Amino acid sequence: MALRRPLIGIPADRRMLGEQPFHVVGEKYIRAVIDAAGGLPLVIPALGDELAMDELLAQLDGLLLPGSRSNVEPRRYAGEPSDPGTEHDPARDATTLPLVPRAVEQGVPVLGICRGFQEMNVAFGGTLWQKVSEQPGFADHREDKSQPLEVQYGPAHEVELAEGGVLRALAGRDRLQVNSVHAQGVHTLAPGLAIEARAPDGLIEAFRVARAAHFALAVQWHPEWQVMGNAFSRALFAAFGAASAERAQLRQR
């Protein structure tokens, strides 16, 4: 029997396009699943409790939590109300926040990126800075939106990889250059999460779920951006894809 590609779910944003709601995922995440993880992408609609989550996870071999222009609602982590005009996506929150712990418990490999990184921290009981740039001692981690995308997503700063961590093993060195396209960040790290990387200002840039039996890791930067042109990004998605493929093979027997 030929081995099938792992089925990797990608939760969607719920956005109003015109007068109607749509469930959307950025193409760069879909392409990264296909090209770098070797998976078959499946867009998961942001339907919250209407999804039969356990039934869904039983069909998935991996879960990729993508970035988004929206922020996790602060009520989800007992934070202060957001500034007027802050974009939120309560439908996505209602989908991903209960989905992530279930996925880890059921052995589904998970990779979180940017908003997905923040979602994972909140899902396990952590909190967020809503504006990292306004916190004493922290740098401004936002992109310059007046610049072309290639500049916005270009290398912005180093991260130091934790000794003995998954990312250091993948990189084969203790530091990486990464992009920086975010305003929010981890304030309090959730119990059970282990730091994988920090920015020069001390901000947590990556973590893993320490108790997870399989791959369960998140990064604050955007490795999906031009993934095939970055050796470490390819390695990260390949490791996620390999864990997903292992689950697919076990379920195929």
Given 73, 160, 224, 246, the catalytic residue: 224
Given 73, 182, 205, 222, the catalytic residue: 222
Q: Is residue 60 classed exposed, middle or buried when 0-12, 13-18 and 19+ CB atoms within 10 A define those classes? A: buried
Read out DSSP for 151-200?
Answer: HHTS--EEEEEPTT-HHHHHHTSSEEEE----S-EEEEPPTTEEEEEE-T
Given 114, 141, 143, 182, the catalytic residue: 114
Looking at residue 36, its amino acid is A
Six token digits for residue 88: 């939120």
- Largest CA-CA distance found in the chain, in angstroms, rounded: 58
Are 113 and 65 a contacting pair, CB within 8 Å? yes
Query: Going along the chain, which residue ranges are E strands?
Result: 7-11, 13-17, 20-24, 40-44, 62-65, 110-113, 127-129, 157-161, 175-178, 185-188, 193-198, 204-209, 216-219
3-state DSSP assignment of residue 28: helix
Element at 236 (helix H, strand E): helix 231-252
**Residue 76 CB coordination number (10 Å):** 17
Active-site residue 141, yes or no? Answer: no
Active-site residue 114, yes or no? Answer: yes
Residues serving a catalytic function are: 114, 222, 224
